[in-house]
Structure 1
């Protein structure tokens, strides 16, 4: 389980890698849930929430960069 602080301490590249891995895991879990019974159905929710956390942090960083760029251009 990755916590918010750990995610915020990651670089942009690490966040992108974490997002990619979580998306792949979610895909595998979805396929597995259709073909057989999952050992831990809660893992689907955990992966979806991890993806949402990473995307939120990426969006916050992007908005911060655009604000800084707009402020320096003024």
Structure 2
């Protein structure tokens, strides 16, 4: 297989493929798994143009939705 990434949206698959990749990486003479296992959302987010805003200004502007049964 000649791929750089193995992408999945399933958290269980991400865990299992990550374990398989990690276990086989340490076997001497076996280099079958040279790809990186990633969540597809993270993969796409890292490739979007622009920068991800961080810091206290962004956190202060973020508004949590009101709890059920309460007015917000």
Provide the TM-score with structure 1 as the length reference. Answer: 0.40
Q: Which has the higher strand share?
A: 2
Answer 1 or 2: higher relative contact order, Cα 8 Å, separation at least 6: 1
Provide the TM-score with structure 2 as the length reference. Answer: 0.41
Point out the structure with max Rg over C-alpha. 2
Q: Which has the higher helix share?
A: 1
